[in-house]
Amino acid sequence: MTLETTTIETTVPQEWANQLNQFSLETGRSVKELVQEAIGQYLKTISTSLNPNSKQLEDSLLEQELLILQQKVQSLELLFHQVSKLEAKITSIEKIIIPEVPITSDSTFAQLLTNDSDEDEPDEILTDFLP
């Protein structure tokens, strides 16, 4: 099935012709295809703006998309709040479990690992209880 076609002849500014030729080279499509597509998009835009029902439909679709996006933002805000609460809890637990080790500018990693400031553990083995 072939569509009826007609030839339309017109003149355009040289700048437009140069741009069309450049787009043609960049895309690998003919100037004829580019012009046909441009006219098709223009006619679609014009018919949408002239037909009030299609404009209302477009507005309705945009409103629906906006509502969906607002719902997603609200759910993300709730998740962000929950993450903030969890971060605070983890920080509190870390302070209880991992005591703060004083770090100075001359501290080495080994010194930090072998912090002997714990008073509840003896530094040496008591031999009085051995047989």
Give 69-96 pLDDT, tens digit per residue: 988 888 888 889 899 999 999 888 887 8
Note whether residue 127 is domain-resident: no
- Going from the C-alpha of 83 to that of each of 76, 87, 90, 126, the distances in angstroms are 10, 6, 10, 48
Together in a domain, 18 and 44: yes
Count: domains in the chain: 2
What's the pLDDT band for 114 if we cut at 50, 70, 90?
low
Q: State how far the alpha carbon of 129 is from the alpha carbons of 19, 58, 125, 126, in Å.
A: 97, 88, 10, 7
- Helices (H), ranges, 51-102: 52-97
Residues 41 and 20 in one domain: yes
**Same domain for 35 and 61?**
no
Range of the domain at 43: 12-50
Give me the pLDDT at residue 11, please: 93
Share of the chain above pLDDT 70, in %: 67
pTM: 0.38
Tell me: do 45 and 64 sit in the same domain: no
Q: In this predicted structure, what is the pLDDT of residue 120?
A: 55
> To the nearest 10°, the Cα dihedral for 29, 35, 36, 42?
130
Asked, for residue 115, whether it belongs to a domain, the answer is no
Query: What per-residue confidence (pLDDT) applies to 101?
Result: 61
Residue-wise pLDDT tens digits, 27-45:
888 999 889 888 888 887 7
Same domain, 40 and 18: yes
